[in-house]
Each structure stands twice: as C-alpha cells, then as structure tokens.
Amino acid sequence: MFANTSESSDDSHSTQTRVRRSKVWEYFEQNLVKADDGFKAVCKYCQIRLSTKSGTSSLMTHISHHCHAIGEADRKRFVATLKKPIENFVFDPQFCRQRMIEFVIHAEIPFNKFEDPYFEPWVQSMQPTLDGVSRQTVRNDCLKKYQRMKQDLQNELQTLDCHVCLTSDKWTSIQNLGYLVITAHYITTDFKIKKKIISFKEVKYPHTGFAIEETLVSCLTEWGIRNKLFTLTVDNASNNTSACEELVYTHKHELMLEGAHLHVRCCAHILNILVQDGMKIIHEGIKKIRELLKHIVSSPSRIQAFNQIAMVNGLPTKCGIALNIPNRWNSTFRMVREALKYKVVLNSYANQNAEIAPNEQEWTKAQSICEFLETFEEATKAVSADRKPTSYMFLPLILSIKDALDNPAWQTSTVLEELAAAMRIKFEKYWGSDIDDPNQHNARRKKKDYDINLGIVIATLLDPRGKGEYVEFFYQKICKNTDQIHTCVNTALVWMKKYFVEYEQRVRRADAYSRAYTSKASDTVGSPVLAKRQLGQEFANFKSSRRKTRAPKSEIDMYFEEDCVEDIENFDILAWWKAHAEKFPVLSTMARDFLAIPLSTVPSESTFSLGGRILGESRSSLTLEMLEALVC
C-alpha cells in the first residue's frame, strides 16, 4: 500500500514539474488534477478537465475551437501563436512596397493617410527596418505600377488574334465634371474571358455624340486597337447612339462588315427603364404594406412588439424590415419579399395595434408584384455578370420577361393589368420583332430603338444547345405571323454566313502565315526536309486533280447538321468551344468574338438605380493622370 502511494506521488511530482514549453498552458491551471484515469489539466475559462497523456494537442483543440467561455480576442491571440515562423525568411522592402501599393489602389486609400501621425508607428511595430513613405512616394509608386501594367496589357491587346468588345460608361465628379470609362472585353486563345478598364478620360462639355466619339477614337488609337473593335455596348442615351453612328460612319473600313452591328444597347439599362416606368403603379399596389412597415420601424418599442409576435409564430426576430429607396427598384422588391415572409406577423401586429393592415386581395397583389420584380432582378444580375459570357443568354432572358408580362395573374387586378400594359409597350419598343435587312447596313440608315442587335442573335446561334432551333423558337414567341418568323430567322442565318466568310478568310490568312513562317524557320534550300515537303505537296495536287469534282461541305453546314448538345446544368459554353476548336476552327474563332459581347455596361448593383456613377471627394481632387491610373 505504501509502495503504491509512493509511486503515485512520484508520478504526480514528475508530471507537474515537467517543463511546459507550449503556449497553451497559459490557458490552463498550473497544477494538474488527479482523476481515475490519470492527471488532467483544468481550463481556466470553463473548468473542463482534459487528459495530457498524448501531449497538448487536445488542449490546443479545446482552446482554439471548443471553449465557449473564452473571449474571441483571446482565442484569436492563441491561434496566432500556433503559426510557425517561416524558416529562412528574409524581409524584402521592395516587395512589401509593391503589396502596399496594391492595397492602396484596391481599397481606395487616400494618399494623405500615409502622413497620419499614427501610421508610421504602426508600421514600425510590425517591421522596424521598413522606412516610412510619404504621400508623394506612394503616388509615384502607383503611377509606375500603372505604366507597367498598361504596357503589358497593351502588348497583349495588340497581339490578340481576335477582336475586342468595348463598354462605355459615364461617371461624374462632385464638381459635375463628366468622365468616360472604357472597358475592353475579350476571350483569349485558351477561351478565358477577360475584362480590363483601359481608359478613364474627361469628356469635353457639352457631352455630345461627337465628343464621346472623339474620346472613343482617341482611346482606340492610344491602345493600337482601332482595327480590332468589334462591338460597343452603351446605355440608351441619344448622345451614345449618335457617337456609335459617327464612329461607324467615319471608321467603317476598319470595322468588321463596316460596323453593321457595332452598337449594342445596354440590356440592363433597358430593363431598368422598363421597371422604373412602372414604379408609380407598383408603389400604389404596395402602399399599405409600406405604411405599416414605416409605422413599425419608426419606434424601438414597436419593433420589439413586432419581434414578440414573430417569436410566437416561430419566425426569426429582426431589427426591422428595411424600407425601399425610391430610386432603387430592387430595394422595393426586397422590401415586399421580406414583408410577405412576415405576412402573419404584420397582420397580427396591425390587429393588436389598431393599424390598417392590407387585406387578402392586396397581399395577393403584392405577391404578384414580388414575382414580377424577381424576374427582372434575376435577368439584371444575369446580363451584368462579368466573369462569364452573357450574349448567348439574351434571347432566353427576353422570353422569360415576355412570359412574366403575359402572365394571366395580371388580369386579376386593374392596377396589375395597367402595369403589364405599360411594360408591354416598352418591351415592344426596345425588343420588338423588327430585324436588320442584311442588304442594307449603311451607317446612316434610320435605326429604330427596338432593333435587336444581330450580333447577339448570332451568339445564340453559336450556343450548341439550341443553335438555329432556339432562334426559331424565340421568333415564334415574339413575332406576329409566320412570314415574319421566317424573315427574322432567315435574316439571322444570312448575317451569320456573311460573318463566317469574313472569319474564314482571316483564319486562312493566319494559317498561311503560320505555315510560311514555320517553313522558313525549319527548311533550307536543298535540305531533305524541303524535298520531302515538295513531294508531299505534288502528291496532294495529284490526288486533287484525280478526285471527282464535288462541293465540299462547309464547316458551318456541319455545325448546324449536328444534333444539339444536351442542356446540362452549369453548361460551360467556352469549354465546349475550346474542346471543338480543332473541329470548327472558323466558328470557334467567331465564338470568341460573339460570346465576348457584354450585355451591360456596369455591375449589376449599379443597374438597379437611376443614379449615376459618382466619384468620391478624395478621388475628385486628383489629377486626371492619377485618376486614370487608380481607376484602370
């Protein structure tokens, strides 16, 4: 008995006096506690007991993940101590400066922040050997980085074997100066879509079509891509239309098919116009819901009463349902959608507090309005995506909007029917069934607002899931009679073949140049390689002369004769064309241009608002040179 006690005492002594090097022991009591299965460590925060037989891994896991009593700051501090220092690390001040400049540009940090009295001490606390930087140094570093990146991008664009699609968007400063942001969109040889801002220039006042066209041409000339311009996507302002017409008229010989389909109207902008025109009607339809929400969010006690009812009904509590912002129609959609989720709560609150609640018919109306706006929100987000092609999705999106407008639910209410009628008028104005005559593409011909750009229709033809069948289906839904359907489909195919001929000549010239260059680099006069090549060519000519005369099937015919591919979820159209580039060399080259056409000039969140893009105070004070460097 005494022997066992002595042994236990020795174990206790050796365990507790062992040198503890791990940082985790700072979070546990110094003395271990004896248990039936050995000694255990006691957490200072939650008093849980953990075994240390296998080392400290269980202790570290507890502190970093499972201890709910420990503060978040203490937890983060502990996790940071677990990171092992990088062996053989050598501090590089130049690399650090580069990373800092990237952060400054991305986070839009004002240069004067580097002269803040607390900035340098903070940096010194992390790296004492790092010299401080002035605002002028940061400015110069930003300009140098911009010049390097611009040169690299310029080389890439000038050596592209495809065209470049542009978007143009207007910005203003707090001084009401106008700027034009020009963004290049293109698809690389490995079928990756790229988007780069290439210009941020002030536009001379007045902002006429000529002023915009002059800015565009200056940008194209500066970047050396005047002969690579394919399409220009702009919003629906009349000066943009004039700029496109002037650009085509003065530079048509540098454009594909004389710029027949250069002008692409911003689809997201048109969607916004359609919805904004109906917002007065929509606001009337949800007036009672908004008034009830406004009453609730105006007082903390009312929000508390609302949350109590929500808890009784098994719904999560809220700090209030956000009211809509008048010039942002998606905020109205989100407000109504959220209100519908809390319909029971809102009705109960209104009954308990003698407030006027919407009746069942008005809730049904709100549901229809919500479904209507959801269609437009999804469409706007889809056309504004910038990391994947959007042009081939245009026709399906148009049909989804048309189906929403033709929904029989609109006939259940005078307000809804009035809304649908107003939307249909706008829809027909911009996306009616008229189509370009392939024999008339003079830049000065009268263009109608509701022309559907055939470049976008051809992008749909290049979607292997639908090809011509989907285009025919689209016009059956849009057009008013059979003759019009046939005319529209046939016209689209004629234009596609006209483009195909142009691209075929390009591909042949590129192949001929490549063969000539390879031959020149690898062959010398009198060499065995050259003799073998000449014999091979003679035999090819001999076979050609003996072969019966027959018209070979063209690449475009083979493409349309093949069955459409299966429409799988998350279909990657660029991956498909990359895989079939060898089989369809001309069409795959076409696909890189037509699938690069952007349907929107701005990111989706900006398209929901009537407000323009405005430069903040810090950037409005910069020089034009510095402003362009930071934006681009």
Mean pLDDT (whole number) for 472-481? 89
Q: Which helix (H) or strand (E) holds 318?
A: none
Other beta carbons less than 10 A from residue 172's beta carbon? 14
Output the six-digit token pair for 131: 């010299």
Q: 267: left (phi > 0), else alpha (psi -120 to 50), else beta?
A: alpha
Q: How far is the C-alpha of 303 from the C-alpha of 342, rounded, in Å? A: 13
Q: Which residue has the higher pLDDT, 174 or 566?
A: 566
pLDDT band with cut points at 50, 70 and 90 for residue 11 = very low
Contact 601, 235 (CB under 8 A): yes
Q: How far is the C-alpha of 471 from the C-alpha of 469, rounded, in Å? A: 5
Q: Which of 276, 277, 212, 279 is nearest to 247 (CA)?
A: 212
| pLDDT tens readout for residues 590-599 | 999 999 999 9
| pLDDT tens readout for residues 274-327 | 888 787 778 877 888 888 998 888 888 988 999 999 999 988 887 767 787 766
Which residues lie across from 43 on neighbouring strands?
A: 28
pLDDT for residue 213: 94
Is pLDDT at 439 greater than 70 in this prediction? no
Q: DSSP secondary-structure letter at 207?
A: -
| pLDDT tens readout for residues 157-200 | 999 999 999 999 888 877 778 889 999 999 999 999 999 999 99
Is pLDDT at 525 greater than 50 in this prediction? no
Q: 182: left (phi > 0), else alpha (psi -120 to 50), else beta?
A: beta
| pLDDT tens readout for residues 102-126 | 999 888 888 889 888 998 888 888 8
pLDDT for residue 526: 47
Q: How far is the C-alpha of 572 from the C-alpha of 562, rounded, in Å? A: 19
Q: In angstroms, what CA-CA distances link 453 with 210, 232, 460?
A: 22, 11, 12
Which residues lie across from 202 on neighbouring strands?
A: 179
Least confident of 268-272, 339-343, 529-533: 529-533
| pLDDT tens readout for residues 530-552 | 455 566 666 666 655 655 455 56
Question: What pTM value is reported for the model?
Answer: 0.75
> Which amino acid makes up residue 262?
L
Residue 143's SS3 state is helix
Vertex 114 angle, CA 108 and 116, to 5° = 115
Residue written as token pair 């080259």: 589
